[in-house]
Structure 1
Amino acid sequence: MADQPLTIFQVAGRAMSAQLVRMNTTASNLANAGGVASSEAEAYRTIKPVFQTEYDKATGLATVNVKQVVQAGEAPTKRYDPTNPQADADGNVWENAVDETRELVDMMETARGYQNDVQVMNTAKTLVLDTLKLGQGS
């Protein structure tokens, strides 16, 4: 089964799955924006998926898979805020390292990518249906 050539539907489906992982990591990053922690180790760091491209020799089609999800971006920022209940013994809190602007841009790019993958799937479906209609002889 693994030696079977990929179809355009499989390629688009895998791309859609990868975009969903990207959207979920972006949503997680945005959900943690503005938060603070008692230590640098406890502070949230931005996460990003790492994509891997695989080529199908039989068809020449390329697919994308999520290889792993990694921490990326800046380190948490220390801020003096002794009134914060999460402040450490020195009165410092660590702000979660999330660049909200970058995350919103990523979310828009991801949504566009997913939309493009859906369009590929719909176009392929239309072409298959039109090809079947040709065989029926209308």
Structure 2
Amino acid sequence: MKLWQEFKDFAFKGNVVDMAVGVVIGGAFGKIVSSIVSDLIMPAIGYLTAGADFAELKWVLSPAVVEGGEVVKAEAAILYGSFLQNVLDFFIIALSVFLVLRLLMKLRRKKKEEAPPPPAGPTDTELLAEIRDLLREKV
């Protein structure tokens, strides 16, 4: 029973639940960014590069062998275009996360600035005058 209680304490802490929500939202955000890259940005880059498609870029090490309409040996190739696509995805995701965090930090700083300052306490001179008055009363 102790093991179950420890697991329950761990699994249902606020940090673990927050992290799980972050992972789920991050996965969905990754799909959105991948769609932006593949559906919006890459066609524009392809247009600017005269129709070049990064995903199709590869260095063929050995071509496929076809005999009688059937593939006997598959093509061996280094798919550097796919790598370039993933690097571009990474930079766009990193930029998006950076901009969102920057916005959140800016809002947090603005909220701190709007908080009223703590009430001012008595100055040293006022404290000394109060102590002097109390001592006079005792004498």
- The question of a shared fold, defined as TM-score above 0.5 by the shorter chain, is answered with no
How high is the TM-score relative to the length of structure 1? 0.36
Greater per-residue strand proportion: 1
Q: Which has the higher helix share?
A: 2
Higher relative contact order (CA 8 A, sep 6+): 1
